[in-house]
């Protein structure tokens, strides 16, 4: 059973951001499955790694889009991303040093609560600004996907294929 489901009330009205959120939710569920069926440590580690990498990829996209539509509360929003980035980097380094010190279930509960609260409480607030400048936001989105794709392959499409 998935621990979290994407439902239309989580939509921020912009397709690639919704897809990112769906991928993140898919990875959280994958991590939950891996923990529940007692997958080997390498599997849990790989899924946790993908989740952390994709979080960073997604934050980068949102920040580019908020800049493109001159979202007035962008700085505060980015600070909440930076706080999570630091927490996630800490989880990852503790995990690499000593996998037993990380309780995957606690990490999962934390990320699940963080993600839903952040989408509903923060991400939704930029929706009207993005909608009022769809041309610029769309251009910035395509440029971001292309730039990241050249660097790493297209994480969005490979994650969607995997899900």
Instruction: List residues near Fe ion by CB under 5 A.
Output: 62, 123
122 secondary structure, DSSP code: I
Q: State which residue, 114 or 134, has the beta carbon closest to Fe ion.
A: 114
Helix (H, G, I), strand (E, B) or coil at 28: helix
CA distance 83 to 28: 19
**Minimum distance from CB of 93 to Fe ion (Å)?**
23
* Residue 80 C-beta: closest distance to Fe ion, Å: 7
| Minimum gap (Å) between residue 143 Cβ and Fe ion | 18
Which residue, 32 or 123, is less far from Fe ion as judged by CB?
123
Q: Whole-number minimum distance, CB 104 to Fe ion, in Å?
A: 22
Give the CA count within 13 Å in the CB-facing half-sphere of 64.
21
Nearer CB in complex with Fe ion: 72/96: 72
Least gap, CB of 54 to Fe ion (angstroms): 11
State the DSSP string of 66-119: HHHTT-TTHHHHHHHHHHHHHHHHHHHHHHHH-GGG--HHHHHHHHHHHHHHHI
Please say whether the dihedral angle defined by the alpha carbons of residues 55, 61, 65 and 70, taken in this order, is positive or negative.
Answer: positive
Residue closer to Fe ion by CB (options 26, 34) is 26
108 neighbors 3 (Cβ within 8 angstroms): yes
Residue nearest to Fe ion (CB): 123
- Cβ closest to Fe ion, residue 102 vs residue 155: 155
């Amino acid at each position: 059973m998935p621990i979290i489901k994407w439902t239309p009330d989580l939509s921020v009205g912009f397709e690639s951001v919704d897809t990112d959120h769906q991928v993140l939710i898919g990875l959280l569920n994958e991590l939950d499955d891996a923990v529940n069926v007692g997958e080997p440590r390498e599997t849990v580690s790989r899924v946790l790694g993908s989740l952390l990498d994709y979080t960073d990829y997604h934050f980068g996209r949102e920040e580019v889009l908020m800049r493109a539509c001159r979202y007035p509360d962008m700085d505060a929003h980015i600070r909440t991303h930076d706080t999570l980035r630091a927490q996630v980097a800490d989880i990852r380094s503790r995990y690499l040093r000593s996998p037993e010190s990380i309780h995957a279930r606690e990490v999962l509960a934390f990320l699940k609560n963080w993600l839903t609260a952040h989408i509903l409480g923060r991400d939704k607030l930029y929706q009207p600004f993005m909608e009022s400048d769809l041309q610029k936001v769309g251009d910035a989105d395509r440029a971001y996907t292309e730039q990241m794709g050249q660097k790493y392959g297209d994480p969005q499409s490979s994650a969607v294929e995997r899900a």
